[in-house]
Amino acid sequence: MKIMKKLLSAAIASTIIATTAQAAISDNEIRIGYLADMSGTYRDLAGPNGLVALQMAVEDVGGQVNGANIRVVSADDRNSPDVASSTVRQWVENDGVDMVAGLVASSVTIAATRILEQSNRLGIVSGSAASSITNEHCTPNHIHYVYDTYPLANGTAQAVVQEGGDSWFILTADYAFGHALEGDVEKVVTANGGTVVQKVRHPFPTGDFSSFILQAQSSGAKVVALANAGSDTTNAITTAGEFGLTQSGQTLAALLLFLTDVHALGVQAAQGIQLTTGWYWDMDDDARAWSDRFMQRTGVRPTMVHAGIYSSTVHYLNAVKEAGTDEAQAVRQQMMNTPINDMFAKGGYIREDGRMVHDMYLAQVKTPAESKDEWDLYKIVRTIPGDEAYRPLSESQCKLVNN
């Protein structure tokens, strides 16, 4: 009888806990909004395939958490902060979205995270690069997961200067991401004994880079650095090749280059370019296994952004499960309390400023002779430990950090 009573009490307690956890999930449904450039400059690095990565994450946790179903909605932000703001506001006010994923253009992210902070919903930034997102633009309602401009500068720019590239021309996309990358790179160049000869900003996006490459050639700088991304980068590299920039003795440094960019350019055009990345599909067994699944779904190998979207979504949903609620602050705290050890990062962790700290990698594009197939594109030159890669909290301007 006593045993029966204990079993009955345990069953009742379990039911109460499960019911409480389920009740704590708003509308008894976890709603995720995927916001990204689905048709423009940044389509390939995140875009529709980022939505596939997110859906894979939802499937891998079983499609529900604590009995509450997971629902995903998506939208094309068209790289417009205004579109982003109106979309996120509608999702929050009308559709009950709990978390916004994707978030690629930095201007879009900054606009979206303001709405998320006002409404106390959560955002996980996987595509944006500007380090200001967890610095002066930090909020208690978003996490910056994959990479930012600080390690891009400390990886690629530092390596190029140390190899003798001590005079720089920086060609910059004229919006938040480009400005942040330009600023971070200039600090690294000067700190390592180099000089920035000239800085020129181009409209975002730009189709014709002829005049900008001519300015770079006439600057006399040893290094022509591209502080842009997506099709802007590939167009600039193609134009530089047409104008014989590297043949004239200048070095081309792509400060943010994605796997899809290199694939589009081909190893013949991109060989030897050094870059910094947060992840590579062929870096270890876990990455390869997940990448094989992704390729079966999409026909392409994943970028670091695709991998980060998957990893961050699984991490978020596991945090909802452990916290027993989808309330933004409780989930964010649970995510901060839990290390990230998966196909994307080993020993990753989320700081109080929202920065997910993990190892970064200095890579070099293989030569045609080294590349075994169309996606065998990088060789990892060295690992940059996470605590060295990202801006130290002692230098942070984030309102959440007590310096």
Q: Which residue type does 147 have? A: Y
Cα 194-396-312 angle, rounded to 5 deg? 100
Please give the structure tokens belonging to residue 95.
């559709």
Q: How far apart are CA 72 and CA 54, in angstroms?
A: 9
CATH of domain 6-147+283-358: 3.40.50.2300
Residue 5 pLDDT: 39
- Which helix (H) or strand (E) segment holds residue 144: the answer is strand 142-144
- Give the pLDDT means over successive 10-residue stretches in the chain (403 positions): 39 39 78 97 96 98 97 97 98 98 96 98 97 96 97 90 94 94 95 97 95 97 94 94 88 92 93 91 98 98 98 98 97 98 98 98 93 96 93 96 81
Residue 12 pLDDT: 37
Q: Which of 285, 295, 291 is nearest to 304 (CA)?
A: 291
CA distances from 94 to 58, 87, 91, 98, 286 (A): 22, 10, 6, 12, 39
Residue 18 pLDDT: 40
Q: First CA to last CA across the chain, in angstroms? A: 60
Q: Is 163 helix (H, G, I), strand (E, B) or coil?
A: coil
Backbone torsions φ then ψ of 369, nearest 5 degrees = -70, -30
Domains 6-147+283-358 and 150-277+360-389 share a fold: yes
Q: Which residue type does 99 have? A: M
- Which helix (H) or strand (E) segment holds residue 10: the answer is helix 2-24
Q: How far apart are CA 198 and CA 219, in angstroms?
A: 7
Q: Which residues contact 357 (CB under 8 A, 6 or more apart)?
A: 348, 349, 350, 351, 386, 387, 389, 390
Largest CA distance in the chain: 92
| Sequence ranges of the domains in the chain | 6-147+283-358, 150-277+360-389
Residue 403 pLDDT: 63
Q: How far is CA 51 from the centre of its chain?
A: 14
Architecture of domain 150-277+360-389: 3-Layer(aba) Sandwich (3.40)
Q: Which of 360, 361, 351, 359 is nearest to 396 (CA)?
A: 351
